[in-house]
Amino acid sequence: MSLDSVPGAPVRESEFQRFANLTWTLAITEWRLRFYGSVLGVAWTLLRPFAFFGVIYVVFAKIAKVGEGVVNYPAYILLSLILFGFFGEVTGGCVGALVQRENLLRKMRFPRLVIPVSVAVTALLNLGMALIAGVIFLVALGVTPDWGWLQLIPMVVLLLIFSLGVGLLLSALFVRFRDIQPIWEVVSQMLFYASPILYVATLVPPDYLRPYLANPIASILTQMRHAIMDPNAAGAAEAIGGAPRLLIPLGIVFGTFALGWWVFNREAPRVAENL
Amino acid sequence: MTVVATGEDSETQRSQQLQTAPAAVSVRGLRKSFRIPHHTYSTLKERVLHPFAARTFEELKAVDDVSFEVARGEFFGIVGRNGSGKSTLLKLLAGIYETDEGEVTIDGRLSPFIELGVGFNPDLAARDNVAINAIMLGLTRKQASERFDDILKFAELEEFIDLKLKNYSSGMSVRLAFSVAIEVDADVLLVDEVLAVGDAAFQHKCFEEFQRMKDEGRTLILVTHDMGAVQRFCDRAMLIERGRVVEIGDPERVARAYNEINFGRLVYDVEDGPRYGDHVAAEIVDAWFENEVGQRLNAQLQGDPLTFAMAVRFNEDLEDPIFAVTLRNSKRHAIFGTSSAAFHGPSGAFKSGQIAEVKISMQNLFAADSFTATPSIAHSGTGQSAIDVREDMARVIIHSTKYTGGVIDLPHEYTIERR
């Protein structure tokens, strides 16, 4: 039985409009609340990746000297951190999202998808701010902007689809299995090191490079290095050994999203009672 | 109190209209059960460690074959004790829970929420909360900003609009929530426990608002414990117990059935209170309420004869002992007290081994409630030296067809003169 399809029930606003309204309201409220009462306010969004960047830069570029010979290595670390931070925020935020919004879920009828999507929208707002600051920083570091930078847009879109797919899966599973949270913390940590953030993909031994780049985040960051930091560095297609092979990470992105979508929608009607 | 000359007529007119009105909500054979597992494996680890553990569970039938119809423009009450399934039923109607079996048909736009103030956030100013709440309840951004002033005006909170919600009193925030909720464009409203809103003046406004909704032909389904509200607002009501419909129809009848279920249980469940005095010279061995023909009562209708009785056994010879009783209502207020010394005079001599029954028949003006009686015996004199005091030894429930809010309903008369 679906109440939304009851004949003779005119809808106040289209379903999509209601979805968009709710998502945006939740996202913006969450975004504002995060910095509620803090002195630096929104600046905290930036402080985190930049402070992290500072530490990593000193350790990896100056002490361990991992990035020797890598063009614009500091800029690469910063942007990778920002992008991975986005992935971490969406997935980490989605895990407990349904349980935190228990009050809404139990008291109101609305598309359950609103909740994970609003988490992603909040993260997008933060990403936008961080990217603006990041770009300024990049220019200050001496990276020259060019049209290649626009590739950031499809990269962010792919990353969004991937993280939302994972997020949908995690949030639906968390309702049933509460240890998803610590498990995901570990997996997320592993992904951090399995992605070229502190180092670059070309440092990975050639034998392992292709399976390594099956990780969509690794492919995205490798392509980013080619598009923004160093046109001479191998792009994702070149590193994985031909553009057709990119279908593997792409397949993982869309496959994950499809799986997350399916599991979430399967669980959604009973989420309120399983909480 | 307003006296409407044609009150009776408009009432009957309304109920006739409702009888012929098409159904706004129609529920047929609705069932919903929850599985309560004996062992909860809520983590993956446990699931992995006990892969073949029998997943036994108990099936809790929260809503069990419920059917009813609510006419368009009707105010319909759903009452029941805690855990009777009434909230589950409301959630099924609202589409928050998925039904197991049966059909729910709603004709008209259904409000998406079942509680006031959904999404209120204590850290945000009232202004923001109104906007967020309005959008949650299904208003568009444009509608929300257009109606903003009306909402505040109704809530009478204009001066506090920039105050954070956590600094609001609970009454203020419910007022705000109620004011937003009435702006929602819905033909069918579902509401869980809200009617006691704010102070008397604001309550009056809310009642007027309900009246306006009635006049507009909106349908309201109300889940509550408050029998007064049901009798006051609802055209019909339904009592559910263990997920099944026990009684449906006239609110007065439903309220009485509810009281019977509710307090009827208390009579047997609740133990006597403490006992004072040495109860050597005499002891109270039994106490009860009875009607005019001496039948013991658990419940009595207001106005029908009510007698309190106690049985006393004397272990010593006693001269003029004082018998007394105090009646308390469910809020522990002493509503009535009497003693033989003050209202009867000397009680005379009693011999050791004798048993006496003392009966006090009273005019039954008590408001609907559960009452307990605390009988006592004292040595003659000031009544200070108690022999036996048995707190809450007897109980009785008083039903009434009217809700007045008082503890007793004094006989009274109206005089209305037109000049």
For B45-64, the pLDDT digits (tens) are 776 776 666 566 778 888 98
Q: Which two tokens stand for residue A123?
A: 């993260």
Q: Is the pLDDT of residue A74 over 80?
A: yes
Chain A hits for B97, CB-CB cut-off 8 Å, are 270, 272-273
CA angle B119, B125, B130 (to 5 degrees): 50
Higher per-residue confidence, B101 vs B270: B101
Confidence category of residue A10, pLDDT binned at 50, 70, 90: very low
Distance CA A66, CA A75 (A): 14
Dump pLDDT digits (tens) for A106-135. Answer: 888 899 999 999 999 999 998 998 899 888
- pLDDT score for B4: 40
List phi, psi (to 5°) of B362.
-135, 160
Shortest Cα–Cα distance, A7 to chain B (Å): 7
Q: What is the mean pLDDT of residues B273-300?
A: 85
Q: Is the pLDDT of residue B271 over 60?
A: no
Confidence category of residue A9, pLDDT binned at 50, 70, 90: very low
Say whether A18 and B138 touch across the interface (CB within 8 A).
Answer: yes
Domain boundaries of chain A, sorted by first residue: 12-268
Query: Could you tell me how many CB contacts below 8 A there are between chain A and chain B?
Result: 102
Does B135 reach chain A within 8 Å, measured CB to CB?
Answer: yes
Whole-complex ipTM: 0.79
- pLDDT score for A37: 62
Q: Is the pLDDT of residue A6 over 50?
A: no
Dump pLDDT digits (tens) for B87-130. Answer: 899 999 998 999 999 999 998 888 888 888 888 888 888 888 89
Mean per-residue pLDDT of chain A: 87
Lowest mean per-residue pLDDT among A92-101, A258-267, B54-63, B331-340: B54-63
Say whether B105 and A18 touch across the interface (CB within 8 A).
Answer: no
Shortest Cα–Cα distance, B140 to chain A (Å): 7
Chain A hits for B141, CB-CB cut-off 8 Å, are 21
Confidence category of residue B10, pLDDT binned at 50, 70, 90: low
Helix (H) or strand (E) holding B36: strand B23-37
- pLDDT score for B39: 64
Nearest to B153 by CA among B131, B184, B133, B180: B180
Shortest Cα–Cα distance, A1 to chain B (Å): 7
Q: Pick the most confident of A56-60, A196-200, B166-170.
A: A196-200
Shortest Cα–Cα distance, B391 to chain A (Å): 43
Higher per-residue confidence, A124 vs B396: A124
Closest in A21, A178, A273 to B97, CB measured: A273
- pLDDT score for B264: 57
- pLDDT score for B272: 65
Dump pLDDT digits (tens) for B180-220. Answer: 888 888 889 888 876 555 667 777 777 788 888 888 888 98
Say whether A8 and B108 touch across the interface (CB within 8 A).
Answer: yes
- Residue of A29, A30, A95, A114 to mutate for B, most B C-beta atoms under 10 A: A29
Chain B hits for A1, CB-CB cut-off 8 Å, are 98-99, 103-104
Dump pLDDT digits (tens) for A16-53. Answer: 888 998 999 999 888 888 776 666 666 777 787 788 88
Does B266 reach chain A within 8 Å, measured CB to CB?
Answer: no
Query: What domains lie within chain B, and their CATH numbers?
Result: 7-111+186-265 (3.40.50.300), 273-399 (2.70.50.60)
Closest in B108, B118, B132 to A107, CB measured: B118
Q: Is the dihedral of CA B346, B347, B348, B351 positive or negative?
A: negative
Say whether A29 and B121 touch across the interface (CB within 8 A).
Answer: yes
Strands B296-297 and B355-362, sheet pairing? unpaired
Does B23 reach chain A within 8 Å, measured CB to CB?
Answer: no
Q: What percent of chain B has pLDDT over 90?
A: 25
Shortest Cα–Cα distance, A120 to chain B (Å): 19
Q: What is the mean pLDDT of residues A254-267?
A: 96
- With beta carbons less than 8 A apart as the criterion, state whether B254 and B247 touch: yes
Q: End-to-end alpha-carbon separation of chain B, Å?
A: 19
Say whether B123 and A36 touch across the interface (CB within 8 A).
Answer: yes
Q: Pick the most confident of A103-112, A160-169, A205-214, B152-161.
A: A160-169
Q: What are the angstrom distances between the C-alpha of B410 and each of B56, B407, B413?
A: 57, 9, 10
